[in-house]
């Protein structure tokens, strides 16, 4: 293992942890502009985190150790996920340990801990949120897997870094299956990160909230960690999307000069700015679905991903025929 890959790995994780709140802030700002409100400053999430870290924790009397452990597990899994996803470079020592399927398992671990912690106190809202979250999760996961299978078929690997490498060396073929997979991925991203068609991150209305309902009992540094992990999750999903569909600019294996790394960081920031604006636009244009419509929405995502696979088998296999 060379020193440069370790440096890349370290830089990637630090970058992810540092700019994830910024990405969330950028989306919030875009949404505010689109809705004709005066926007909060970009640094709002950081201020929020700072405020929360300075407060004292208020714990429910019947909270078990699991409740206190969960925020750290959540944050830890998201940081680890950020280390596996090739956001700026593909030569990552951590990424060899886990392929994209293990990555989904990592997200599932975080979700299970979150749901358990939400049910731990025993309030009605926590349980409600946890149940809804598990419902969304079990519908969204197969769709996400199918999206990944599309990419696996295209480049013949299940590891995200080699997908990016494959894309860089592959001639620029626009495979029709990619469109299906990309649409399905955006749908899953919105559902998994509690964005608008499924959940509204800005509401505390009892009947509609999913993600927020699970956090109600958390305060101070625990809440800060959970919020940060939420931002990181969104960032991670965005980076998975970049790796699968628009991997241009990521420093590929072998190109490990520092200029390539700087270029990769610049490309990542540009992609994040565009993706954030696009997400805000989608969220502003769509209305929140009733919770019983959510299975329909996610079935659609699953179906699009499967269609992508089929179209790839029908059309893509014959590229050289």
The DSSP code for 159 is S
Size of the site for another protein (CB under 8 A): 23
Question: Which span sits near another protein by CB under 8 A: 105-113, 176-184, 208-216, 231-239?
Answer: 176-184
Among 3, 124, 174, 207, binds another protein (CB under 8 A): 174
Is position 202 an interface residue for another protein (rule: CB under 8 A)?
no
Binding status of residue 300 toward another protein by CB under 8 A: yes
DSSP state of 47: H
**Whats the size of the chain, residue-wise?**
321
Nearest CA among 173, 133, 135, 177 for reference residue 306: 177
Q: Does residue 290 belong to the site contacting another protein (CB under 8 A)? A: no
- Structural contact between residues 65 and 316, judged by C-beta atoms closer than 8 angstroms: no
Q: Segment contacting another protein (CB under 8 A): 45-53, 178-186, 230-238, 267-275?
A: 178-186
| 138 lies in the binding site for another protein (CB under 8 A) | no
Q: Which residues of 186-214 are buried (b: 16+ CB within 10 A; e: fewer)?
A: bbbbbbbbbbbbbbbbeeeeeebbbbbbb
Contact yes or no for 73/234 (Cβ under 8 A): no
User: Binding segment for another protein among 47-55, 82-90, 177-185, 281-289 (CB under 8 A)?
Assistant: 177-185
CA 217 to each of CA 65, 116, 146: distance values in angstroms, whole numbers, following the listed order:
14, 13, 35
Which of 169, 320 has the CB closer to another protein?
320
> Looking at beta carbons only, is 93 or 295 nearer to another protein?
295
Q: Is 151 in the site for another protein (CB under 8 A)?
A: no
Where on the chain is the footprint of another protein (CB under 8 A)?
A: 173-174, 176-177, 179-180, 183, 295-296, 299-300, 303-304, 306-307, 310-311, 313-316, 318, 321
């Amino acid at each position: 293992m060379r020193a440069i890959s370790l440096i890349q790995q370290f830089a990637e994780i630090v970058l992810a942890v540092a700019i994830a709140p910024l990405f969330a802030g950028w989306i919030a700002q875009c949404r505010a502009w689109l809705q004709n409100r005066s926007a909060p400053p970009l640094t709002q999430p950081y201020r929020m985190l700072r405020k929360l870290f300075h407060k004292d924790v208020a714990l429910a009397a019947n909270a078990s150790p699991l409740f206190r452990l969960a925020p750290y597990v959540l944050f830890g899994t998201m940081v680890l996920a950020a280390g596996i996803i090739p956001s700026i470079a593909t030569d990552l020592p951590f990424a060899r340990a886990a392929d994209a399927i293990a990555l989904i398992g990592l997200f599932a671990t975080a979700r299970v801990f979150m749901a358990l912690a939400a049910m731990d106190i025993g309030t009605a809202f926590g349980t409600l949120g946890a149940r809804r979250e598990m419902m969304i999760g079990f519908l969204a996961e197969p769709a996400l897997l199918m999206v990944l299978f599309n990419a696996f078929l295209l480049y013949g690997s299940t590891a995200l870094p080699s997908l990016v490498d494959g894309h860089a060396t592959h001639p620029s073929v626009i495979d029709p299956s990619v469109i299906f997979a990309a649409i399905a991925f955006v749908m899953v991203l919105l559902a998994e990160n509690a964005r608008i068609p499924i959940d509204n991150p800005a509401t505390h209305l009892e009947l509609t909230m999913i993600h927020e309902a699970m956090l109600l009992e958390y305060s101070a540094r625990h809440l800060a960690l959970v919020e940060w992990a939420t931002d990181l999750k969104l960032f991670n999903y965005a980076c998975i999307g970049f790796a699968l569909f628009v991997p241009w600019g990521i420093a590929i294996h072998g190109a490990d000069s520092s200029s390539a790394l700087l270029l990769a960081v610049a490309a990542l920031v540009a992609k994040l700015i565009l993706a954030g604006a696009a997400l805000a636009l989608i969220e502003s244009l769509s209305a929140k679905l009733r919770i019983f419509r959510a299975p329909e929405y996610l079935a659609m995502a699953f179906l699009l991903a499967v269609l992508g696979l089929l179209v790839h088998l029908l059309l893509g296999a014959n590229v050289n025929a």
